[in-house]
Amino acid sequence: MSDFFEQVYDIVAVIPSGKVVSYGQIARALGSPRSARMVGWAMARCPEGLPWHRVIKNDGSISGGVMADLCRELLEAEGVCFLPDGRVDMEKCRWTEW
């Protein structure tokens, strides 16, 4: 596993319940602002036990293909706010305190 992936997982591990971050936020936090796609690759291989569902697209959209419905269910159970169009309300739920 790459050092970059490990750093991604270190951030994901501390995202609090009820909050979300975007792939791009994680990339910027790691000093690689153009690496959002690489963060996505890391998340596709996310180890068990990490809150993978708390990482979403910058516009609040949920990615994940077949896992998108589960992701939404998990976020709703944590009290994450959704907009009428189905996206996460990033203004209310984005985590920026790392």
6-26, pLDDT tens digit by residue?
A: 999 999 999 999 999 999 999
Beta strands in the chain (DSSP E): 21-22, 55-56
Domain ranges of the chain: 3-93
Fold classified for 3-93: Arc Repressor Mutant, subunit A (1.10.10)
pLDDT in tens, 27-73: 999 999 999 999 999 999 999 999 999 999 999 999 878 899 999 99
Phi, psi dihedral angles at 89 (to 5 degrees): -75, 95
Pairing type for strands 55-56 and 21-22 reads parallel
d(CA 52, CA 31): 21
**pTM of this structure:** 0.94
Residue with tokens 């984005």: 94
